[in-house]
Structure 1
Amino acid sequence: MKIKRIAPADFECRYMTAVPPVFKTRDTPLQIFDIRETAAFISLPTPLYRPDYNFIVHLTKGTASQQVDAAVKHISPHDVLFVKNGNVTALLETSDDVEGYVVIFEDSTLRHLLSKEKLVRLFSAGTVIPLPDEASHWLTPLFMLLAREIYQPAPDLEICYSLFQAALLKIIAADKGQHKSVNRSSEITFAFKELVYKHHVEERSVAFYVDKLAVSVNYLNRCVQQTLGTAPKEWINKVNIQHSQLLLQDFTKDIAAVAFELNYEDPGYFGRLFKKITRLTPSEYRASLMQSLS
């Protein structure tokens, strides 16, 4: 299974049966789409892909299911789904009555709009953020204005950025789990996680990340333990095993081939590590996948 990197314009070519008139990808670092106008044209489920952009989904009606890395996320009205650049994802299903907006944006857009503290808060949030009804209703007209401006013949990007910045700040403020202050420990952990997502297949030693972050082993251990409740090595292993769960969805590959693809020279060690993290052997995990498909 080859997981492709997908740019915004690629999605319509690969995963849509037709392109509705309202679905117009723009050559801008910020784009927005009305789910009501586009959902019926998407071939479901999409294959797993790795977007080279970030996106949020805000549902106002109906439901959807999205795989993000190895987990399936179920989205209900007033939820916001946040998929980061580099996550592996697939849209699995949507209800017939689904409504809301999808906003896609580049990393540069986030850095332009949010302070480092707010950026860490956003990236530390859960994949699905349930919003209070008031906050969700507040977002809807704002996204309508954003869509109206973006689809002008000559959109004013500063207006677009200001509207989207307001939406992000509202989401961050409404996320009850993110009211802790952001400190140096949180920033180091945030940077560590981003490096692990980028390099975990080739680099599993803590020394590599310590060198990249220019901190000591003890300091990285303390930061990651305080923030994630686990040691850096355990987090690296967890991300690697999550990646292996995606590869195991390709039933044409044997388990040893998956282990070798992730640079585990000993398939037996890979199997023991997989069971330690998931409580299933790779064979048991694959059997559970086949059972769910049947």
Structure 2
Amino acid sequence: MNIVMKTETIEDFYKIKFDRLPGDLNRETGHFNVFRLEDCHGPNALPVNYSRRDFYKISLIRGKNRYHYADKSVEISGSTLMFFNPNIPYTWESLSDDKTGFFCIFSKSFFTEKIRGGLGDLPMYTPGGNPAYKLDPLQDEHVSAIFLKMLDEISSDYTFKMDLIRNYVTELTHFALKSRPTETLYHHPDAKTRITAVFTELLERQFPIERPGQRLTMRSAKDYAEQLAVHVNHLNRAIKESTGKTTTHLIAERLTAEAKVLLKHTNWNISEIAYSLGFEDPAHFNNFFKKHTLLTPSSFRNSQAA
């Protein structure tokens, strides 16, 4: 099984939803936009792919829905405030026909130096965090009013409207933090496949190695388990059952493939390649490569040049 997910960019989002790009997409202050859900998810809308995005998203959605987030799933009914970040792949499926609500999207740079500690430190955005906050009717009314203010402001000609919109987004965040996240989590039948997909996406994100100073930071199953906020044994079982291979084997396969590319297509010396792939000692890299290819790195390079 070989799962490679393409990251959906803001450009992809606009092309998929509207078949056009907004004129202010590359503004230096970062990108923000807000929408009514029913304007983007009509009866002929394309399904939402399970993938990582390179932007943040906050949604108020009503009706019965199921979200898949990393290796978890959450089923929601009624009004729910959802937070998604660029690090964790997700998708959602509607279980009813009464979808209404709002959502906004924004790039990381939209909040540069605006939130203490960074967005990634907030509980709803941390790995393993729960992004769902169920709302009662009064809370729905309050959150809807914030989204309506965003919609009014985004179309205004007020010079400082983006500063005001940042305040609205911050208000949504703190409103959620003061309430309790939804706890209706269940193990979806595809949970093992899903966590394998997330692991594979994290693994692939480290490649290609494009310069000698670039260095691999995750080389063990434990490294990936910590990033995904799951126990390493849980990760190992999920990957073994989904692929028939161990986590260590998949990491070694990808390292070996990248090592071959670097040996064949660059003039970097063996020490530089070893360092880039996360090996502290070139001898360890030599032993690793020989174990998986039956050739030393130098022998492999010479055979490719012949």
> Is the helix fraction higher in 1 or 2?
1
Secondary structure of 1:139's counterpart equals helix
Gaps of 5+ in 1: 178-195, 210-229, 249-253, 266-294
What corresponds to 1:164 in structure 2? 169
What corresponds to 1:142 in structure 2? 146
Cα deviation per residue 1:206-262 (whole Å; 9 max; x = unaligned)?
Answer: 6x79xxxxxxxxxxxxxxxxxxxx9999846268559849x94xxxxx533987434
CA change 1:66–1:205 in 2 (3 A) is closer
Pick which of 131-140 and 3-12 moved more. 131-140
Aligned pair partner of 1:38 in 33, 40, 44: 40
TM-score of the two chains, using structure 2 as the length reference: 0.55
What corresponds to 2:85 in structure 1? 84
Gaps of 5+ in 2: 183-201, 207-215, 255-306
**Deviation at residue 49 of structure 1 after TM alignment:** 1.3
Find the structure with the greater CA-based Rg: 2
What corresponds to 1:2 in structure 2? 4
State how far apart, in whole Å, the 1-side matches of 2:110 and 2:77 are: 27
* Aligned AA (2:96): S
8 Å CA contact retained: 1:32, 1:146: yes
What percentage of aligned pairs have identical amino acids?
11
**Deviation at residue 79 of structure 1 after TM alignment:** 1.3
State how far apart, in whole Å, the 1-side matches of 2:158 and 2:236 are: 46
What corresponds to 2:60 in structure 1? 58
Secondary structure of 2:39's counterpart equals helix
What corresponds to 2:15 in structure 1? 13
**Deviation at residue 7 of structure 1 after TM alignment:** 1.0
State how far apart, in whole Å, the 2-side matches of 1:242 and 1:12 are: 38
Q: How does 1:211-230 map to 2 (within 5 A)?
A: none
State how far apart, in whole Å, the 1-side matches of 2:227 and 2:136 are: 34
* Aligned AA (1:168): T
TM-score of the two chains, using structure 1 as the length reference: 0.57
Cα deviation per residue 1:8-56 (whole Å; 9 max; x = unaligned)?
Answer: 2202434x5xx389x9695243222210111115312x33211111212
8 Å CA contact retained: 2:220, 2:248: no
Q: How does 1:87-102 map to 2 (within 5 A)?
A: 87-93=88-94, 95-102=96-103
Larger RCO, structure (CA 8 Å, separation 6 or more): 2
* Aligned AA (2:174): L
Secondary structure of 2:178's counterpart equals helix
**Deviation at residue 154 of structure 1 after TM alignment:** 6.8
State how far apart, in whole Å, the 2-side matches of 1:136 and 1:55 are: 18
Residue 256 in 1 paired to residue 240 in 2?
Answer: no
State how far apart, in whole Å, the 2-side matches of 1:86 and 1:262 are: 20
What corresponds to 2:280 in structure 1? none
CA change 1:135–1:91 in 2 (3 A) is same
What corresponds to 1:216 in structure 2? none
Secondary structure of 2:150's counterpart equals helix
CA change 1:67–1:203 in 2 (3 A) is same
**Deviation at residue 120 of structure 1 after TM alignment:** 3.3
* Aligned AA (2:245): A
CA change 1:232–1:157 in 2 (3 A) is closer
8 Å CA contact retained: 2:133, 2:181: no
8 Å CA contact retained: 1:55, 1:102: yes
CA RMSD of aligned residues (A): 4.3
Aligned pair partner of 1:203 in 219, 223, 236: 219
State how far apart, in whole Å, the 2-side matches of 1:115 and 1:83 are: 19
State how far apart, in whole Å, the 2-side matches of 1:91 and 1:231 are: 25
* Aligned AA (2:73): V
